[in-house]
Structure 1
Amino acid sequence: MRSVLAATVVLVQLGVVYAQCPGSVTASVCGLSKASYPDWMGRLPNDRLISDLSIPATHDSLAIVGGSLTQCQENYGQSADTLTAQLKAGIRGFDIRLRIAEGNKFTIHHGPTYQNANFDDVLTKLRSFLEANPTETVLIRAKRECRNEFLSCNDAPGDFESIFRSYVSAYPTVFWAPAVNGRADIPRLGDVRGKAVLMVLHGNSGGPYGAFGLHHFAGWTDGSTTYVQDDYNVANTGAIATKRDKVRRFLDVTSAGDKSKIYVNFGSGSSILAHPFTIANGAAPSTTGVNPFLLGYMREGPEVHAPVVRTGVMMLDFPGADLITQIINTNQV
């Protein structure tokens, strides 16, 4: 607690007020507002496949309230204001969790906890950002969150797929049409500037809805697949090292892998004994978290290991400014 208070005092003295973060701001954890990359994709060529990009992304992108077991991101405001903050910082991949609410609408949840935002908020914020920054694209993983069971949320009556289609119709300029009108091939950046690309629309058991997303992710179920590392069960703080190693190994695979395939690497994890911030930040006195480990690994030179030349979509909890910068700078012009 003393370290958190001390950090807060220093930040106030510097005239910088960071949003709610459950721990100290470091180069790799929290302090997202120190990064400012609203149009970084503008320097990349149109003919580059989006699979060939290094994309900073957030896991459970709007999980900002509900306590330490539920919160995965800094809280920069309700009604998807947090999404806007992430976009301005350079985040281009998002993990959006949807609950069917009354009136055939979607609200944003993490498990049973409503995250003070609705899908209309998300799409409105995306539309505003992409209209103001037409060189950019964003990648979306959307998921039906509620399992209608204990420790989850409950959907109101309604057909999930039909409701999703109604949002696509209501916001016709937001989505790249081929990925919401049937499964699509992986596009080039020039084809999707100013649009949101739906990578996959997941059901509440992990399987994707077949009429949406990219062909490439048709086999993306719950957890890890060939092109996805999402081993999210980190049983305790002692298992953080194992999670770090999974992230690192998959990063090596991505960096050396087929540039026509999108790799998605989740740095996130959680359990009753290891909460998201602890996994991202580390546990005192000697357990390094995923985020600082990842930043250090990416900064190491060829005398240590093969340089990281592509990260794919890095889904992170509480990403810090230097880590975002490092991922963006991995893109080769």
Structure 2
Amino acid sequence: MVAVGAALLVPQGPALAADASYRTLGSANNPDWMSSIADSTSLAALSIPGTHQSMSIHGGSLTQTQENFGDSGGTLARQLTAGIRAIDIRARVNTGNTFTIHHGASYQNANFDDVLTKLRTFLAEHPRETVVMRLKQECHGGLGSCTDVSGQRSFADIFDSYVSRYPNLFWQPSVNRGAGAPMPSLGAIRGKVVLGVVHGRGGGPVDRYGLAQFAAWGSGSSTYVQDAYDVPNVGAIATKRDQVRRFLDATSAGDRSAVYVNFASGSSVFAHPQHVAGGAFGVQGVNPFLLAYLNEGPEVHAPVVRTGIVMLDFPGSALISEILSRNG
């Protein structure tokens, strides 16, 4: 119902034209960019391109956040080849104590096994890489959301069963429910998935999964996270651009032992993800702004020397490359 209403509220048409910052992920090819980085490098020191709602390719313009490179994890596989190393996975509890992938009420024609299989295959072929995962229980039962299937085990118990069925895929300290993991060096996590955090249906962290640093990462923004996701209209994209810029500057100058996560994404029924990312009605989108800002020299502003993890909708190939260039 929300998506139908949005279709009436926001003029619909073809997606905005692709450019170097937007909807050109298919031309990016960075499958081994971590391979030349020293093992002793902290995960916190890296500049990492990521995707918000990484699997969201179905449901219309209000729910689609990524270019469609195929169901059953095909889209994720293409992102990994392009150089994406941080992913945002949204799961519904389904029958048989399984997870299926959703964006709100919209099923994304994939399940959690697809996600883990694609990650396992990629990391086996590129063993010097690592991928950071944020996992969220997507369904809260409200308007526009999904509802978990009743009678199943808890979200955490189901996740633990997946971890057991994919031995050696996750960096083990990050999937310990009882204690948050310390910040790892790259050498310790090569060939592994690092679980950054698990979020429950209310937005708060589940148990103590993930990195200890993210124990206070709830819904929206926190000390090390910028996730101002409500962009109420196209005019407010300018505010979102400024939030991304300010957090990028804070990351560049901030605590070198901490990971910062900067969500470039945002949406509402009056400003869909493609509008926020690519621009609309003469308003510059976050992606082209971000690419231009990263390219500006010291005569304009202090150079960005570290981006942290930047979570993007519809990333372009040059934007991915510009983030990666901060890794030397």
TM-score, length-scaled by structure 1: 0.92
Match of 2:159? Answer: 164
* Alignment partners' CA distance in 1, 2:59 and 2:16: 16
Q: Which runs of 4+ in 1 moved over 6 A?
A: none
**Could you say which residue in structure 1 is the equivalent of 2:240?**
243
Contact 1:59 1:315 survives alignment (8 Å): yes
1:210 Cα deviation after fit: 1.7
**Per-residue CA shift, 1:147-177, capped at 9, x if unaligned?**
0222110001221110000000000121000
Give the unaligned 5+ runs of structure 2.
1-13
Per the alignment, residue 267 of structure 2 pairs with 270
Unmatched runs of 5 consecutive residues or more in structure 1: 1-20
Aligned twin of 1:330: 326
Amino acid at match of 1:90: G
Q: Which residue of 2 aligns with 1:214?
A: 211
> Contact conserved, 2:171 with 2:195, CA < 8 A, in 1?
yes
User: Residue 183 of structure 1: CA displacement?
Assistant: 1.5
Distance of 2:143 and 2:290 partners within structure 1: 35
Quote the residue 1:15 is aligned against: none
CA contact (8 A) 1:127 1:173 kept: no
1:123 matched to 2:116 = yes
In structure 2, the partner of 1:232 is: 229
Distance (Å, rounded) in 1 between the aligned partners of 2:236 and 2:255? 30
**Percent identity (aligned):** 59
**Conserved 8 A contact 1:28-1:292:** yes
Q: CA RMSD in A?
A: 0.8
Please say if residues 91 and 137 of structure 2, whose CA atoms lie closer than 8 Å, have aligned partners that are also in contact: yes
Residue aligning to 1:13: none
1:50 aligns with 2:26: no
1:169 alignment partner, SS class: helix
Where 1:330 maps in the other structure, the secondary structure is helix
CA contact (8 A) 2:208 2:215 kept: no
Q: Give the paired residue count.
A: 311
Q: Residue 28 of structure 1 contacts residue 322 of structure 1 at CA under 8 Å; is this kept in 2?
A: yes
Residues 1-333 of structure 1: matches in 2 within 5 Å? 22-157=15-150, 158=152, 159-181=154-176, 182-285=179-282, 287-332=283-328
1:12 matched to which residue of 2?
A: none
The answer to whether the Cα contact below 8 Å between 2:274 and 2:313 also exists between their aligned partners in 1 is: yes
Q: Deviation digits for residues 50-91 of structure 1, max 9, x if unmatched?
A: 011000000000000100000000000000110000000000
Q: Is the Cα contact below 8 Å between 1:282 and 1:289 reproduced in 2?
A: yes
Shift of 1:25: 1.4
Superposed displacement of residue 33, structure 1: 1.2
> How far does residue 211 in structure 1 lie from its aligned partner after superposition?
3.2
Aligned partner of 1:7 in structure 2 is none
Q: Could you report, residue by residue, the CA deviation over 1:209-250 in whole angstroms, capped at 9, with x for unpaired residues?
A: 123111000000000001000000000000000000000000
Cα distance in 1 between the residues matched to 2:208 and 2:255: 25
